[in-house]
């Protein structure tokens, strides 16, 4: 999402700032712009004391200090921090909103829980030597509950940040494009099949998905769960996530809302 926002030329994407200490302490680490971190125009300008932070997720004070350092060198008025605040750093936005000298907005990017479950189970299956139905069931249950906890946190954040929080459905954005609340920030029009080249936009991402380093990214809607997900896992994820499936209008069956 950060890469798409940066591609408009209206924002600087810096990836998961909360995870930056895991990379800043490694002299050979590279930014998604292709440069070594020490030579990157954004991360290379981070003060030395922040570059020497312990290699673990930043605490709230270090997170704020990193963002302030980025604000000082950024030529863009909008900075995208993709830190996953909902699940792991639920109270971080509240702290940052009171600490940083800029307006903070939250984008709640939500994906169908069954798509999330199947993505996790499918990935784990490729790492196992032997298939295991019970491991799949336990993993599906755990993923469903973690997904719910993350969205409960996001809902609570929404109470604090309303109206400065925008909810965006992943599948709807890919198929139909940017909602009016994000016009001018995200690329316009449906994104299915759209190619985004590196070098377009202010893109200096750390952490996150490995595709951040790919030169070319084609936006695809991953809805394989609708046809590939075993029924027992589909029913389990649907039952466990039922309240939010209804709230976010995903549809109850695999042929539901798209």
Domain boundaries, the chain: 2-247
Instruction: Report the SS3 class of residue 14.
Output: strand
pLDDT above 90: residue 245:
yes
Cα separation of 256 and 258, whole Å? Answer: 6
Confidence check: pLDDT of 207 > 80 = no
pLDDT of 87: 60
Q: Considering the entire predicted model, what is its pTM?
A: 0.84
**Whole-angstrom Cα distance, residue 219 to residue 211?**
11
Q: What percent of the chain has pLDDT over 90?
A: 46
Considering only CA atoms, give the Rg of the chain.
19
Q: Which ranges of 162-221 would DSSP assign to H, the alpha helix?
A: 170-176
What does the DSSP 8-state code read for residue 183? Answer: B
Token pair recorded at residue 175:
């198929």
Q: What is the mean pLDDT of residues 149-176?
A: 86
Backbone angles phi, psi at 4, to 5 degrees: -65, -40
Q: Are 19 and 206 spatial neighbours (Cβ–Cβ below 8 Å)?
A: yes
Helical ranges in 102-209 per DSSP H: 113-125, 133-161, 170-176
Q: Tell me what the mean pLDDT of segment 22-40 comes to.
A: 86
Are residues 252 and 238 in contact, defined by beta-carbon separation less than 8 angstroms?
yes
Q: Is 126 exposed, middle or buried (0-12, 13-18, 19+ CB in 10 A)?
A: exposed
pLDDT at 208: 62
Beta bridge partners of 183: 186
Structure tokens at 111: 């994906």
Q: What is the pLDDT of residues 95-135, one digit of tens each?
A: 999 999 999 988 889 999 999 999 999 999 988 878 789 99
Percent above pLDDT 70 for the chain:
90
Mean pLDDT of the chain: 86
Phi/psi of residue 34, nearest 5 degrees? 105, -15
Distances (CA, A) of 249 to 5, 201, 229, 257: 25, 33, 20, 7
- Asked if pLDDT for residue 258 goes beyond 60, the answer is no
CATH code assigned to 2-247: 3.40.50
């Amino acid at each position: 999402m950060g890469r798409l926002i940066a591609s408009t030329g209206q924002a600087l994407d810096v990836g998961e700032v909360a995870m930056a200490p895991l990379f800043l302490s490694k002299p050979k680490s590279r930014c998604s712009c292709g440069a070594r971190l020490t030579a990157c125009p954004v991360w290379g300008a981070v003060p030395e004391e922040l570059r020497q932070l312990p290699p673990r997720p930043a605490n709230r004070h270090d997170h704020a200090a990193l963002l302030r350092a980025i604000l000082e060198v950024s030529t863009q008025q909008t900075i995208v921090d993709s830190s996953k605040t909902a699940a792991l750093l639920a109270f971080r936005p509240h702290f940052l909103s009171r600490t940083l000298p800029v307006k903070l907005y939250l984008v709640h990017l939500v994906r169908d829980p069954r798509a999330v479950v199947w993505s996790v189970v499918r990935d784990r299956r490729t790492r196992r030597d032997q298939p295991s139905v019970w491991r799949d069931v336990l993993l599906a249950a755990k993923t469903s509950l973690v997904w719910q906890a993350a969205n409960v946190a996001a809902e609570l954040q929404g109470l604090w940040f309303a109206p400065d929080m925008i909810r965006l459905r992943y599948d709807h954005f890919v198929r139909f494009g940017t909602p009016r609340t994000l016009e001018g920030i995200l690329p316009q029009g449906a994104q299915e099949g759209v190619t985004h080249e590196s070098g377009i936009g202010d893109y200096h991402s750390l952490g996150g998905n490995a595709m951040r380093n790919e030169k070319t990214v084609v936006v695809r809607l991953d809805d394989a769960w609708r046809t590939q997900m075993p029924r027992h896992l589909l029913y389990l994820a649907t039952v466990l996530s039922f309240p939010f499936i209804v709230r976010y209008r995903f549809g109850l069956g695999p042929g539901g809302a798209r």
